[in-house]
Amino acid sequence: MESASSIVQYSHASWSWLPIISSLSFITSFMLLFLTVVRKRVWCDCEICESYSESRWRIQFHNLCDWYTHLLKNSPNRTVHIHVLNNTITANPENVEYMLKTRFDNFPKGKPFSAILGDFLGRGIFNVDGTFWRFQRKMASLELGRVSTRAYSFQVVSVEILQRLMPLLASAAEIVDLQEVFRRFSFDCISRLSFGLDPTELELSLPLSEFIASFDLASKLSAERALATSPMVWKAKRFLNIGSERRLRRAIRTIHVVARDFIRERRKVGFSDGQDLLSRFMSSVGDDDKFLVDIIVSFLLAGRDTVASALTSFFWLVACHPEVEAAILKEAEEVIGVDSAGCDQVKELHYLHAVVFEIMRLYPPIQFDSKYCVEDDVLPDGSFVKGGTRVTFHPYAMGRMEEIWGSDCLEFKPQRWIRHGVFVHENTFKCPIFQAGIRVCLGKELALMEIKTVAVSVLRRFRIELAQPDHPPRFSPGLTATFRDGLPARIRPRSSNYTNFN
Ligand code: HEM
């Protein structure tokens, strides 16, 4: 039996809960009212919208991008409109060219889209238009375009491979998650290349692992905002600081603490004669640390997750195609011999270049990309786009369109990029992996060099055996394509003469 005192304690406890219970019921009523309003505003009962809103597409497809591909394949002009998202989605190369080049000014990132990523990316290059964008683009393209930067980048990547990646793989446990390995590798590379700092050698206020986990979480939660049928849902959660928005706020706080450490370290080392991007920006931006933080976050996002995603897909697909692996090794032997590869030799690896493009055709690191239509417009395929709505082009779906790639579009065939033994690039609007037109990726050459150098170095030294062969990827929501279950693999040393590791 309960004693009298415990009953009193219990009743005191329940009184003390009263303010919490009443606040919760206020929040719940507010949310219900709010959701009723939102539901009215964006409701649509067409089959596609219902399938989206109720996630019914999951019955048939593992990934949202596969469902969009299915819809786009079945649309006569390869364009569909998702009414509940107010979003026109296209896989038509003429539309892509129109948005990214011909009518560039009518299809900026736009305020609604910038708001989605604003807390995470701030005024960083990925998230702005106009003056802020032009300034960052000019600075970054000057820096990344220099011949000396290219040579330096190759040196940094080679050292990272030799001193970190190879020893790590050589001593790997029975099964290792290659995706995690590449995420860490590309993080170290981009930090050294863009900020002139080795993150493992810095004195940081928080553990690096916490920073990286927060970075991943912020990317995931920011991307999830874009999936909501109305921005009012996440804006209300942000206002109330609850659920995913509370976690996002915490993650961003952690990211900012560490990014400020990067700036402090750079100041300590000195930046006036630094060759890295951060030093250049610091010389021009002065003491605007908030802007410098945004620049750091954007460049980490640009250079880390994309490269890691491409490398993960690379090792997955090559492990599934031993004939491709053999052809890569044969070409490497002919071009490089048994020594370590030089920068010019890596450029000469045409077949490997084709493999990398074929992988990104089927598994682009950025699966779709959205713009905002300023004024009413009509796309070349006749689709009307209302001013103030979103337009998305979909490289993942475009890689699977028969009219672009032929009836074998679903097959993994690196040879399709080769003519007379030389890599030949397709029209970039047909395959906008690096975007195309006026805002084309500034790190394309750097990324290709990094991916190819890692690929050839690892393949010559190790055999990769997938722990789950023929396990098609399921992607996590995020700004870049990430395998939900990682890429578990066994790493077996090859008996070869390549003693220099690459
Ligand atoms: C496989 C690797 C990569 C892929 C697939 C890729 C793809 C892309 C795409 C699709 C965009 C357009 C994004 C948008 O505007 O929404 C972009 C922009 C950009 N990328 Fe990359 N990227 C890669 C690697 C890199 C690397 C290593 C850097 C190094 C710094 C970099 C720097 C940039 C920058 C600065 C922009 C912004 C350009 C602008 O808005 O004017 N990228 N990239």
* Dist. CA 442 → ligand 1 center (Å): 6
Range with the poorest average pLDDT among 16-30, 51-65, 463-477: 16-30
Q: What Rg, from alpha-carbon coordinates, does the chain have?
A: 25
Which atom of ligand 1 is least distant from the CA of 447? 27
Q: Answer for the pair 229, 53: CB distance below 8 angstroms, yes or no.
A: yes
Q: Is 496 or 76 the better-scoring residue by pLDDT?
A: 76
Which atom of ligand 1 is least distant from the CA of 448? 1
* Dist. CA 481 → ligand 1 center (Å): 14
- Going by C-alpha positions, the residue among 361, 349, 360 that lies closest to residue 423 is 349
Average pLDDT rounded to a whole number, residues 94-100? 98
Average pLDDT rounded to a whole number, residues 8-18? 44
Confidence grade of residue 26 (pLDDT, cut at 50, 70, 90): low
pLDDT of residue 24: 59
pLDDT of residue 22: 57
Secondary structure percentages of the chain, helix, strand, coil, to 5:
65, 10, 30
Probe ligand 1: pick from 129, 222, 441, 479, max atoms within 8 Å of CB?
Answer: 441
CA separation for the pair 3, 240 (Å, rounded): 40
Q: Is 402 or 195 the better-scoring residue by pLDDT?
A: 402
* Dist. CA 125 → ligand 1 center (Å): 10
Range with the poorest average pLDDT among 26-35, 57-66, 350-359, 425-434: 26-35
Chain position carrying tokens 């701030």: 122
Question: How many residues in the chain?
Answer: 502
* Dist. CA 216 → ligand 1 center (Å): 17
Range with the poorest average pLDDT among 81-90, 136-145, 262-271, 417-426: 262-271
Q: At what angle do helices 130-145 and 277-285 cross, to 10 degrees?
A: 140
Which atom of ligand 1 is least distant from the CA of 439? 41
- Going by C-alpha positions, the residue among 354, 376, 502, 359 that lies closest to residue 420 is 354
pLDDT reading at 159 higher than 50: yes
As a whole-number percent, the residues of the chain with pLDDT over 70 amount to: 90
* Dist. CA 425 → ligand 1 center (Å): 18
CA separation for the pair 233, 36 (Å, rounded): 11
| Domain extent listing, the chain | 46-106+365-398, 111-361+418-493
pLDDT reading at 480 higher than 50: yes
CA separation for the pair 377, 383 (Å, rounded): 8
- Dump pLDDT digits (tens) for 310-333: 999 999 999 999 999 999 999 999
pLDDT of residue 32: 55
| Closest CA to ligand 1's atom 23 | 306
- Dump pLDDT digits (tens) for 125-136: 999 999 999 999
* Dist. CA 99 → ligand 1 center (Å): 17
Range with the poorest average pLDDT among 12-26, 176-190, 258-272: 12-26
pLDDT reading at 384 higher than 90: yes
CA separation for the pair 244, 225 (Å, rounded): 9
Most confident of 19-28, 229-238, 379-388: 379-388
Confidence grade of residue 144 (pLDDT, cut at 50, 70, 90): confident
Mind giving me the DSSP string for 267-291? HHH--TT--SHHHHHHHHHTT-HHH
- Going by C-alpha positions, the residue among 437, 194, 227 that lies closest to residue 299 is 194
As a whole-number percent, the residues of the chain with pLDDT over 90 amount to: 71
Confidence grade of residue 10 (pLDDT, cut at 50, 70, 90): very low
Beta strand extents in 286-442 (DSSP E only): 369-372, 377-378, 384-385, 390-393, 418-419, 422-423
This prediction has a pTM of 0.89
pLDDT of residue 113: 81
* Dist. CA 11 → ligand 1 center (Å): 60
pLDDT of residue 4: 36
Q: Answer for the pair 114, 127: CB distance below 8 angstroms, yes or no.
A: yes
**What lines the ligand 1 site, CB under 6 Å?**
125-126, 137, 140, 194, 299, 302-303, 306-307, 310, 365-366, 369, 433-435, 439, 441-443, 446-447
Range with the poorest average pLDDT among 11-25, 60-74, 117-131, 138-152: 11-25
Probe ligand 1: pick from 150, 306, 358, max atoms within 8 Å of CB?
Answer: 306
| Closest CA to ligand 1's atom 12 | 435
Q: Answer for the pair 308, 368: CB distance below 8 angstroms, yes or no.
A: no
* Dist. CA 93 → ligand 1 center (Å): 19
| Closest CA to ligand 1's atom 32 | 443
Confidence grade of residue 500 (pLDDT, cut at 50, 70, 90): very low
pLDDT reading at 25 higher than 70: no
| Closest CA to ligand 1's atom 15 | 126
CA separation for the pair 272, 278 (Å, rounded): 11
pLDDT reading at 151 higher than 70: yes
Which atom of ligand 1 is least distant from the CA of 451? 1
pLDDT reading at 387 higher than 90: yes
Q: Which fold has domain 111-361+418-493?
A: Cytochrome p450 (1.10.630)
| Closest CA to ligand 1's atom 43 | 441
Which stretches of 363-434 are DSSP H helices? 395-398, 402-405
Longest Cα–Cα distance of the chain, Å, equals 92
Which stretches of 146-230 are DSSP H helices? 147-160, 166-170, 178-195, 208-227
* Dist. CA 302 → ligand 1 center (Å): 5
| Closest CA to ligand 1's atom 21 | 441
* Helix or strand (DSSP H, E) at 42: helix 4-42
| Closest CA to ligand 1's atom 19 | 441
Token readout for 296 is 């750091």
pLDDT reading at 304 higher than 60: yes
The reply, when asked if residue 409 is annotated as ligand binding, is no
